[in-house]
Amino acid sequence: MRARLAGSTASAEASPPRTTRSADSPAYNRGGMAQWTTQRGTTPQQRAESGELNLALGQPSPRLLPAARLAAAAERQLARDQLVLQYGASQGQLPLRRDLAAFLSRGGPRIDAEHLLLTSGNSHALGLVCDTLRGSSNTVVVEDPTYFCVRGILRSHGLDAVALPIDDDGLCTTALARHLAQAAAPAFIYIVPTYHNPTGRSQSPQRRRELIALSRRYEIPIVADEPYNQLSFHGPIRGPLAGDPDADFVISLGSFSKILGPGLRLGWLQATPHWIDRVLAHGELRSGGATNPVVAHIVHDTIASGFLGDHVAELRATLRARANALEAALRTELPQVGFRPAQGGYFLWLDFGEAIDTNALQQAARPLGLTLLPGSRCGDATALRHYARLSFSFYEPHELTQAVTRLASAVAATRPDRRPADA
């Protein structure tokens, strides 16, 4: 039986019929456009129009991008040494790796600078590890559901995803053990162990141990995609899987995208020197030196000055307030929808129950000025069709509350028992 993903059982109980309104209706724009988070212009990949609420956007809102601080850091670094513009050391400059290791070790086990390699973010790092680990295998074990872009990255590197179920504790190790015993060895196992995309869940300590034990037993690397670890809402930051005892078959990927700015295209890979050396042999790193050395110097400035630590603390508080607002509105307006309160990261995973297909829900939501990510985008389209991912990273609390009002209207418009007179 399929592992259940939402905290409470959702049933699409009858809810009072609601009036649906279109996004250009003055009712949605009451109070003026200035109150809405917008993102326009030629630069961003995804626009967010005034009055639109796109909760599929898994990115920081413009207000959370510290442009002035990075401009000052850039000026300082370029004035300091013209060699900042030179090819960089392939693994990334050692002073940065030392400071990054200290930053990542806050409150947890010490990370060694020799275990870090700079990348251009986790998407790039995934490409590097695909090329490095492919060997004779053309499959990668992934979680179902998983980060919706990962299949595309694997495909671009000649690899196919084999999806295994997750439950409340992370990737099901019983299913994984069976797969490893019976099927051809995969090139690697891809997981998002902390504040998972899309479910927001984090792997339990027991499950982490079981996974690490399986990776050692079968000598199959685990690639842990961990861009959200720093964004815990309660208690300490969750350490990278590669930092766990015995994690000698684990490669953790970290990124500045979610904690400083996605446009920086900078991240890091953490693993033992054996894996670092293998990735360093990649032709791309041998040819061009380090990825993105200028940005690496700028980001180094933000770590060394203490700015990044303060910024992350502020982000955690801001994201927690946003998650709280979204959750409170859901409890009030859609009590029949199941979800687990976010403990960190960017996402809530909603279980709408058997009666709601979230692909149809998205169709109903669009004219209301609301976008969500249907579960079918994240894995098994049939099994996940009652789920959806909402991101709370891009909008202010009052906008998230408004988004839930629109969502409730969309749910009312999607209910299969809805009579024409209700429309």
Ligand X SMILES: Cc1ncc(COP(=O)(O)O)c(C=O)c1O
Report the candidate in 232, 225, 222, 172 with the shortest Cα–Cα distance to residue 197: 225
Mark 254-293 with x for binding to ligand X (rule: CB under 6 A) and - for no binding.
-x-x----x----x--------------------------
225 lies in the site for ligand X, by CB under 6 A? yes
Chain residues 237-256 in contact with ligand X, contact rule CB under 6 A? 255
Strand-pair partners of 294: none
61 lies in the site for ligand X, by CB under 6 A? no
Q: Which of 147, 195, 339, 349 binds ligand X (CB under 6 A)?
A: 147
Return the range that interacts with ligand X (CB under 6 A); candidates 29-37, 68-76, 104-112, 116-124. Answer: 116-124
Structure tokens at 244: 């766990």
186 lies in the site for ligand X, by CB under 6 A? no
Q: Which residues are within 8 A (CB) of 394 and not within 5 positions of it... i.e. 6 or more apart?
A: 37, 48, 54, 55, 57, 59, 60, 61
**How many binding residues for ligand X (CB under 6 A)?**
13
123 lies in the site for ligand X, by CB under 6 A? yes
* Parallel, antiparallel or unpaired: strands 116-119 and 267-270: antiparallel
336 lies in the site for ligand X, by CB under 6 A? no
Return the range that interacts with ligand X (CB under 6 A); candidates 80-88, 117-125, 317-325, 326-334. Answer: 117-125
Q: Which residues are within 8 A (CB) of 251 and not within 5 positions of it... i.e. 6 or more apart?
A: 129, 188, 221, 222, 223, 224, 242, 269, 270, 271, 275
Q: Which of 54, 90, 197, 402 binds ligand X (CB under 6 A)?
A: 197
- The residue whose Cβ lies closest to ligand X is 121
227 lies in the site for ligand X, by CB under 6 A? yes
229 lies in the site for ligand X, by CB under 6 A? no
345 lies in the site for ligand X, by CB under 6 A? no
d(C-alpha 381, C-alpha 375), whole Å = 7
Return the range that interacts with ligand X (CB under 6 A); candidates 43-51, 90-98, 118-126, 311-319. Answer: 118-126
φ, ψ for residue 70, nearest 5 deg: -75, -30
Return the range that interacts with ligand X (CB under 6 A); candidates 121-129, 244-252, 283-291, 333-341. Answer: 121-129
User: Nearer to ligand X by C-beta: 225 or 351?
Assistant: 225
Minimal distance in Å, beta carbon 178 to ligand X?
25
d(C-alpha 318, C-alpha 283), whole Å = 41
58 lies in the site for ligand X, by CB under 6 A? yes
User: Nearer to ligand X by C-beta: 122 or 318?
Assistant: 122
Minimal distance in Å, beta carbon 192 to ligand X?
5
> Using CB under 6 A as the criterion, which residues of the chain lie in contact with ligand X when the complex forms?
58, 121-123, 147, 192, 197, 225, 227, 255, 257, 262, 267
